[in-house]
Structure 1
C-alpha cells in the first residue's frame, strides 16, 4: 500500500467510546468549513471544527482534506493565531494578571500528543474544555508520528484564537523543520494539501517559530517541553573596554564551565529559529526543547541527542529554590525513550516523578497513549497517556489523570518510515539540520 493512504473504519464520533465493533457512521457535518463572516471565532465554530476533523478522519481520504478545510480558511486561522503567539514572551506568566483566580480556577497541563487526534479530543472532553476558570498549558510536540498532526495543531490554534488568555501553546522539539521532515508532518501536509502542501507547511513552520518556550503558573510551577537550560555570561570585546556595543554573549562549551540558566536569560533568548542551534550563541532554545533530566549531579552535554543538556537533582533543587517554585513539569520523553533510561522511571502511566528534592519535584508528562500508534502492534508500548490538573489555592500539587487510547481508531499508514528512522530523536543528523537551516 502506498504510504499515507487511509482506509477508514466508520466509527462513533464519541472519543470516549471503547467499543470494539464499528457502529453506524456518524452524520457528515456541513463542509467545507468557512471562516466567520465577522472574523471572530466563536465557541461553536471551534467545537464544530473538532467534530468535523473527527468525522473527516474516519470518512474521507487525506487527499480530500481541502474539501473540509480550504486553504483560504487555513491561512486565516494560522495568521490570526500567529499574530497572538508572536506577541507572547518566551516564558508566559499565568497568574492573577492573566485571570487566574486563586479560588475558582484550575490549570490543565498536557504533554506530547504527536498527532493523535482522537486521544486529544478525548483529553479535552475528559479534562473539560477551556473556559474562564479552566486554563490549559500544552507542552509541545503536537505533530509528527501520528497521522493527524495537522488537525491537532489547527484545532489547538483555534482554541488559542478563541481564548488567548486561557490556552497556552508552548513549543516542542518537533515543532521544527528538521523533525517534521523526518517524522512525518511534512509528508502528511503534502498528502492532505497536494499542490498547496508547500505553502501550508511553510505557514505552519512560521507559526512554530512564534510558539513560546516555557510558562510559569501561579508563580509556583515551571513548564517547558525539555526542561532546564544553560546560563550565558558576557565578555568584553578585544576592540575596547568602553564600547558597550562590542560586548557579546558567549556560551561556554566546556563541560566544567556549564552553569544553570536564569529566567532573565530565557526571556532574552531568540526563539524565532526553525531549528534551534546546538552550537553558537543562541543555545537556550535548544536546551529548553531538547534537554533531559538525569540522576547524576550537575550539568553535562546531552550526547545521546546531540543537542541540549542533561541535568541532575541538584540543578532541579537550585532552580526551584532560586525562584521559589514547587514543580517543574516537562515532557519530551515517551515510553520508547524511557525504555532506554534505566536510571529513570518508565512511561506506563503517562507520567513519572523523576526528581524529589527539598524544594519540590520534577515531573515528566506524556499525553500520547498507545504510542506510537502506527507502528506494528508488537512494537507499540501500550502506555497510558496522562494530563495534570493544578487546583487552587496554590496550584502546586499535581493531580494526575491517566487515560487509555481511544479505540477503535481509523486505520491509516504512517507518514514516515518508522522501521529505519531513529528512535527518540537520538543522534540527530546535525549536518542535515545545518543544510536545512
Structure 2
C-alpha cells in the first residue's frame, strides 16, 4: 500500500522552483549541469540590486580558545554563513571561515563521529516535552535548513535531531550546510545525530558538485579541505534506532551476508563469506550484522563481502514483494511490503523512516506516491509503516534544465511516550534565496 498524506504543513515561506536530476550510481552523460561554481560567480539576494547589503556579522569566525563550541558560537556561524551566501562570491569563503578553523571543526566532529557505532541508539528522554526531529535529504540548501531548524526549534536538552544523510551536492551551499550541522554535533553530541547518505562519498561528490564547490571556496587549500570532508564522511553512522521502535537510515534495509565454516590446512577452522547475487538467495540482514559492517569506505562496494553499507545507503522500497538487486541504481536492493513487515516484526519496531528519493526519482516509480509534500507513506503493514522523508523543497536548486518541480520539503516530529507516531511538518522553500550568477 502506498500513500501521500497531507500531514500538518507549516507554510511560513513561499515555494520557488525546482528541477529534475537522476540519483543513480551510474554517472550522467555530462556534469555541466552541476557547474554552478566558478571563481567569477557571485552570490547575491534578489533584492541586493535595490538595497545596500546589511553590515557583516562578526567575521572571520575564530575557534574558541577552550575548544568548546557554545550555542552562541554555532548561532554566530549560522548567521555568518547566511550573510556570506547573500553578499560574497564563493571565492571569499575563507574570509568567513579560515581554513584553520575549518580544520579544527572537522577534526573535533570526526573524533566524535568515528567513535559512534554503525547504528546509534537514541534515548530521547521520557519528559512530556521531549521531541525527536527527523530530517531527510537537504542537499546543500542552506537557507531551507536554517528555516527548518528555526521552525522545529533548535537542538536542546529536550529536542533531539536525527539527520538522515545527503547534506551536500546539487545545492550551492553544501559546504556551509555540512559544517553548520557538524558544529551542532560538536556542540551537542547527544542531541544531534548525523547519519550518512549516499552522496557522502567520493563518487557522488565528484559528479554532482560538492568537490568543485569546496575547490572554489577554499582555492589553493581546496584539495586539502575536500580530503578532510571525505575523511569525515567515513565516520558518519549508517542508521539509528530511536526510542526502541523507530529505525532510520538513508536508503533503508539491507541483506544478510551469510557465513559458513570452512577448513584450512591442518584442520584450522575459519569463516568464509558467501555472497550470492541471485535474488533467490537474498534475505534480510540483522541488526547484529549491521553493527559489524565496515562503514569506513569512501564508496561502498556493490560486490564482495562488505555489501551492507551500500544497501543501507542506496536501497529503495518497492510495491512488489520480496528482496531483489536494485538494477536501476546498480547498487543496493529493492524490498517489498513483506520485507518491511518481516524487519519490523523481527526487531520489535513500529516505524521505518528513510530518505534518498526526491520528486524526480518518484515520478519514475510506479505504485509509489509522489514527493509533493516532502514525504510519502510507502508501506502500511500489520506491524507498522515505512515512510520516505525528503527535506529539500524546490529540489535541486541549481541545474541547467527547463523541467522544474514545486515540491515541499518535510520533517517529522516524534513524541513520547513511544516516539513511533510521526507528525509531519511540510514547508515551502525560503525566499528570497541567493542566486548564483553565470558568465
TM, length-normalised to structure 2: 0.89
Structure 1 position 6 matched with structure 2 position 41: yes
Deviation, 1:255, is 1.2
Query: CA offset at residue 376 of structure 1?
Result: 4.8
Residues of 2 paired with 1:126 and 1:65: CA distance?
27
**Alpha-carbon distance between aligned partners in 1 of 2:174 and 2:44, rounded to the nearest angstrom:** 19
**350, 360, 364: which is aligned to 1:326?**
350
Cα deviation digits, residues 307-326 of structure 1 (max 9, x gap): 00000000000000011111
Deviation of 1:242 after TM superposition, in Å, equals 5.2
Give how far 1:8 is off. 3.0
Provide, for residues 33-69 of structure 1, a one-character-per-residue CA deviation record: whole Å limited to 9, x for no partner.
1000111111100000000000000010000111110
Among 309, 334, 355, the residue aligned to 2:333: 309
TM-score with structure 1 setting the length: 0.89
Report matched runs for 1:220-235 at 5 Å: 220-235=245-260
Distance between the aligned counterparts of 2:333 and 2:358, measured in 1?
A: 17
CA-based RMSD of the aligned residues comes to 1.8
Q: From 222, 231, 253, give the equivalent of 1:206.
A: 231
Paired residues of 2:43 and 2:437 also in contact (CA < 8 A) = no
1:94 aligns with 2:94: no
Instruction: Tell me the CA shift for residue 355 of structure 1.
Output: 0.3
List gaps (5 residues or longer) in structure 1: 13-19, 415-437
Q: Which residue of 1 aligns with 2:399?
A: 375
Q: Which residue does the alignment assign to 1:134?
A: 159
| CA-to-aligned-CA distance 1:112-142 (integer Å, 9 cap, x gap) | 0000000000000000000000000000000
Match of 1:69 among 88, 93, 97: 97
Q: Is the 8 A contact 2:322 2:335 kept in 1?
A: yes
CA contact (8 A) 1:6 1:411 kept: no
Alignment partner for residue 431 of structure 2, among 381, 388, 407? 407
Deviating more after overlay: 367-376 vs 346-355: 367-376
* Residues 37 and 212, structure 2, Cα contact 8 Å, conserved in 1: no
Question: Secondary structure at the residue paired with 1:237?
Answer: strand
Residues 279-329 of structure 1: CA deviation (Å, up to 9, x unaligned): 000000000000000000000000000000000000000000011111000
Q: Deviations over 1:330-372 (max 9, x none)?
A: 0000001001112211000000000000000000000000011
Q: Which range is displaced more, 229-238 or 54-63?
A: 229-238
Pairing 1:37-116 to 2, within 5 Å after superposition: 37-95=65-123, 100-116=125-141
Bigger relative CO (Cα 8 Å, ≥ 6 apart): 2
Aligned to 1:178: 203
Change (3 A) 1:230 1:240: farther
Change (3 A) 1:154 1:284: same
Number of the residue aligned with 2:3:
none
- Given the superposition, is the C-alpha separation of residues 240 and 231 from structure 1 closer, same or farther in structure 2, using an over 3 Å criterion? farther
Write the deviation string for residues 131-166 of structure 1: whole angstroms up to 9, x where unpaired: 000000000000000000000000000000000000
The answer for the alignment partner of 2:388 in structure 1 is 364
State the distance in 2 between where 1:213 and 1:3 align.
30
Determine the C-alpha separation between the residues in 2 that align with 1:108 and 1:315.
26
In the alignment, the residues of structure 1 paired with residue 98 and residue 389 of structure 2 have an alpha-carbon distance, to the nearest angstrom, of 34
Offset from partner CA, 1:180-203 (integer Å, 9 cap, x none): 000000000000001111100000
**d(CA) in 1 for partners of 2:371 and 2:49?**
29
- State the 1:23 CA deviation: 5.9
Cα deviation code 1:362-421 (max 9, x no counterpart): 00000000011112574221100000000111101000000000111111159xxxxxxx
Residues in 2 aligned to 1:301 and 1:195: alpha-carbon distance in whole angstroms: 42
Q: Are 1:28 and 2:94 counterparts?
A: no
Report the secondary structure of 1:386's partner residue: strand
Select which of 176, 199, 203 maps to 1:151.
Answer: 176
Q: Which of 272, 276, 301 is 1:252 aligned to? A: 276
2:369 is aligned to: 345
Distance in 2, Cα, partners of 1:350 & 1:338:
11
CA distance in 2, matches of 1:350, 1:409: 19
Question: How many residues are treated as equivalent by the alignment?
Answer: 403
Distance (Å, rounded) in 2 between the aligned partners of 1:308 and 1:167: 27
Change beyond 3 A, Cα 1:82–1:325 = same
Q: Which runs of 5+ in 2 are unaligned?
A: 1-34
Seen in structure 2, the aligned counterparts of structure 1 residues 404 and 2 have a Cα distance that, compared at 3 Å, is: closer
Alignment partner of 1:239 out of 264, 288, 306: 264
1:354 to 378, 384, 394: 378
1:6 is paired with a residue of what secondary structure? coil
Change (3 A) 1:241 1:121: farther
